A = this chain, B = another copy of it.
Amino acid sequence: MLIRNNPNREEWTEITKRPVIDSRTLEPDVMKIVEEVRVNGDVALKMYAEQFDCLVGGDLLITKEEIQEAINLTPESLKEAIKQAKLNINKFHEAQVQESVLVETMPDVVCWRKSVAIEKVGLYIPGGTAPLFSTLLMLGIPAILAGCSKIVVCTPAGRDGKVNPAILYTAQLLGLTNIYRVGGAQAIAAMAYGTETVPAVYKIFGPGNQYVTCAKQLVSRQATAIDMPAGPSEVAVYADETCNPAFVASDLLSQAEHGKDSQVLLVATSESIAEAVEREVDLQLELLPRKELAGQALENSQFVILEDVDAAFGLLNQYAPEHLIIASDDAKILAGRVINAGSVFLGHYSSESIGDYAGGTNHTLPTNGYAKAYSGVSLDSFVKKITFQQVGQTGLRNIGNIVELMAEAEGLQAHKNAVSIRLKSL
């Protein structure tokens, strides 16, 4: 573990740097897959499924029987947990519903915005070693709340051709029925262009490996929107003398277990805190089943000591972490200093994993410093806000001349005429 003691601002650029992921080397391979699916549809999907996921025959669409089987296979205790998580996530996202507000900018010039659901959305849910049914909650719930009329789910099958039961249980709990046994870059292409079986959508959401990420980038250059650009997951923790080093270590490790490219940054207010956290990390790491993976991630990680709170939050805001944990008795006050972050966890008991699963906030968040300009997924991600305006005769009399003058000054005579011809008619 690299510990930097009171680094000066020149070093911050180095500290906040993410590993460069050059997807250009992947692009030709991924573009080939995307094109193949665009042209050959289901045939290409089945070919790639056999090649990568070992699908054993069967339909691409998950059947009712399979869903029933999954319901039976999911333990009751897990079902209850997922149900409560659903309630919490629903409650938080429901509060994001916005009513239209009429604004009369001048007498008889009335403007408003209306949130209208994106009609067709696609949710990509990774399978493999970590079957992310939690991601299905995080994307499915706001899609349903928004009122998206077609919600397509793609998720890869395992070598036995089956999809993880908890994913299928979660889908049926949400009422989603368009679930396809398709994974990887080919799933993204299917949702972008449509095949005989998989419907085309207007916006694609969800995490994935670097092939999935690259495919999302490629389709987003054409007609399909995507949730956000993606990079490896990351956490930054601010820890002062009030922190519990064992708790902090557990949060760092829960990030590190995501994979060897995960990013972990600790900003501690003293050397003794950093050392105490490091000791705890070593102790807890030994007990983890994924300790190899987590150990590799920790090698890329950094512990920084900054005694000055302004400096500490200066660095954290420059880093713009996906997740930020403020492990301090003063967390609520310190929260006011956060400018760039995806989601912030306040105090000693708000572990990142609570937000990952069940607290209510969304876990699809901007990585790679994108938190400087991007928000995480929310209800907003599933709607367009269409503006409306209604101008009557009185309104036109009030605003007409203003528009005429401005249009003329921009050299746009026909824009002026559209007002003049109406003014003359009054």
Which A residues are closer than 8 A to B by beta carbons? 77-78, 81-82, 84-85, 87-89, 91-92, 95-96, 98, 101, 103, 105-106, 109, 111, 113, 116, 118-119, 129-134, 166, 202-203, 217, 221, 223-225, 244, 246-247, 250-251, 253-254, 256-258, 284, 287-290, 294, 331-332, 335, 338-362, 366, 369-376, 378, 380, 383-393, 395-396, 399, 401-403, 405-407, 409-419, 421-422, 425
Contact = CB atoms under 8 A, between A and B. Distances in A.
A54 B47 CA distance: 57
Which of A355, A359, A391, A395 has the most chain B CB atoms inside 10 A of its CB? A359
Contacts of A401: 81
A375 B117 CA distance: 11
Contact of A410 (B87, B116, B132, B361): B132
Contacts of A351: 391, 403, 418-419, 422
The 9 closest A-B pairs by CB, nearest first: A105-B360, A225-B373, A88-B105, A353-B415, A250-B418, A81-B405, A351-B418, A361-B387, A254-B414
Contacts of A347: 390-392
A401 to B, nearest CB: 7
A289 B91 contact: no
A217 B146 CA distance: 29
Nearest to A106: B88
A403 B80 CA distance: 11
Question: Looking at chain A's contact residues, is the secondary structure mostly helix, strand, loop, or mixed?
Answer: mixed
A36 B387 CA distance: 40
A258 to B, nearest CB: 8
Contacts of A372: 118-119, 202, 384
Which of A77, A133, A344 has the most chain B CB atoms inside 10 A of its CB? A344
